[in-house]
Amino acid sequence: MQTDPSNAKQPITLVYKSITQADGLTNLPFKLDVYLPCGPLPLEELQQPATNNTSPSNGSSAVVYFHGGGLTVGNRKSWFPAWLQKRVNAAGHFFISADYRLIPLGLSTAHEVLEDIKDVFSFICSSEFEEALAKGLSSSDDGTTTPKSQLRIDPNRIAVAGTSSGGTCAYLAAKHVEPKPRVLLSLYAAGGDFFTSHWLSPKATVFFRGREMLDPSAYSTWVYPLSTEERSTIVSDSPNTYFPLDHPTTPGWPSNPRSKLAQLYLQLGNYLDYYTGQHEPSLSAALRGALHSAQAQAQSGSQSEIDANAKEFVDLIPERHRHLFPQLLVDSFWPPTFFYHGASDSAVPVQETRNMYDLVRKAKAAAASTHRRQAGADASAIGSLGSGPYNELDRQLDSETEAEVHLIIREGEEHSFDYAPDAEVKFKEDFDRMARFLYRYLRRG
């Protein structure tokens, strides 16, 4: 497919499913935006040598992206990573950004969000997607004819990406969707370690990006139990809006009240109740008790540190919710993953990414070790993965063309640092590196 790069910012919007509201009369459309490729591969810097990780295919590659917002606010255009979309399209891939249900409206939880994530992947691999996209292209009347084969998504060449809570969606997709994502890009993703005080402990002082503590009574509409209206209304689109820079008290801060819900639930220490729907009894309270016990043992010296994935936490989570906890999902089939995070992130602590990075790296190492033993190789060869400090990636892993797990932590950077006005200049090398990583696994064999 060949399109004018100047038009790459204009997506084609499709409806991937509809849900009937509680009134039984209103249908809520769930939308995704499709940004067309600008390829084939005009950027020499993205070219990589052929690998054994790809195979011939019939169809186009795609990156499916999920927006942030704490799962409580936003839409497919919110906190949009233009730097990623441009590079993905320039490398010849579709870039697809999707809406999903927002908690807690309509009693939505991560269970329903996961349903939406699955439906996105099912839709983009269906003939319905091809037909809807072809119709959208014809209505754009750009004078070009696109072969139908190039409107088809190759199920073997799909990446998933997400920022913040959108990264949680990406983690869930990595484990639960079909077709399985070929590669994952985690941008300061939430959910890499839910068993910490950040998620479980009530806060009494400023903790979230320097923003003021919230008065729960001002948000009673969204505090459990929800009002009748909020319980019955499903929402998948709540744009992020901001006060003007000359606002007398909160210049440039979020103005959509829903944008503060994740902060509120973190402040109250009960985010996971809303995430899972487990309010009575409170899942957060149960896990908080286990955390306090683990902290006491660590302070007494009976254990050196708190195990972020300890059985004591897992046993407290009802079986029906465990598949929503990314740190419990990592196995040898986890896709190649690139992690990116700011060391000073106060919205999603960097330890979450470090925990997921460790889990994925160990799973890959164990799988490689097993494979090498089966092949008659010396199992000790897997030691090339190393165990050095997190900010020295190249000393820990094999060469960039071989390693399946990458981590970059940027010192001094807060949440959403890749959206800063100077980010393209400051982090260009990082952005290009992530684009190359995606391309390596999405290219045709």
Amino acid present at 93: H
The span from the CA of 52 to the CA of 441, in Å, is 10
Which residue segments constitute the domains of the chain, with CATH numbers given?
Answer: 5-193+327-442 (3.40.50.1820), 197-322 (no CATH)
Q: What pLDDT is attached to residue 369?
A: 66
The span from the CA of 258 to the CA of 107, in Å, is 15
Q: How confident is the model at residue 146 (pLDDT cuts 50, 70, 90)?
A: low
Angle between helices 127-140 and 110-124 (to 10 degrees): 70
The span from the CA of 214 to the CA of 220, in Å, is 11
Say if residue 52's pLDDT is above 50.
no
336 touches 439 (CB < 8 A): no
174 touches 181 (CB < 8 A): yes
Q: Is the dihedral of CA 253, 344, 401, 425 positive or negative?
A: positive
Mean pLDDT score across all residues of the chain: 87
Q: Which of 195-199, 301-305, 323-327, 350-354 has the lowest mean pLDDT?
A: 301-305
Q: Given the DSSP bridges, would you call strands 27-35 and 94-98 parallel, antiparallel or unpaired?
A: antiparallel
Distances in Å between the Cα of 5 and the Cα atoms of 11, 43, 141 are 12, 12, 16
The span from the CA of 351 to the CA of 334, in Å, is 20
The span from the CA of 164 to the CA of 192, in Å, is 10
The span from the CA of 22 to the CA of 243, in Å, is 33
Q: Given the DSSP bridges, would you call strands 94-98 and 60-66 parallel, antiparallel or unpaired?
A: parallel
The span from the CA of 395 to the CA of 296, in Å, is 35
Q: Pinpoint the alpha helices (H) of 148-190.
A: 165-176
Report phi then psi at 379, rounded to 5.
-60, -25
Q: Does the reported pTM lie above 0.95?
A: no
Q: What pLDDT is attached to residue 142?
A: 54
Distances in Å between the Cα of 80 and the Cα atoms of 9, 252, 338 are 11, 17, 19
Q: How confident is the model at residue 406 (pLDDT cuts 50, 70, 90)?
A: very high
The span from the CA of 292 to the CA of 66, in Å, is 33
Say if residue 232's pLDDT is above 60.
yes
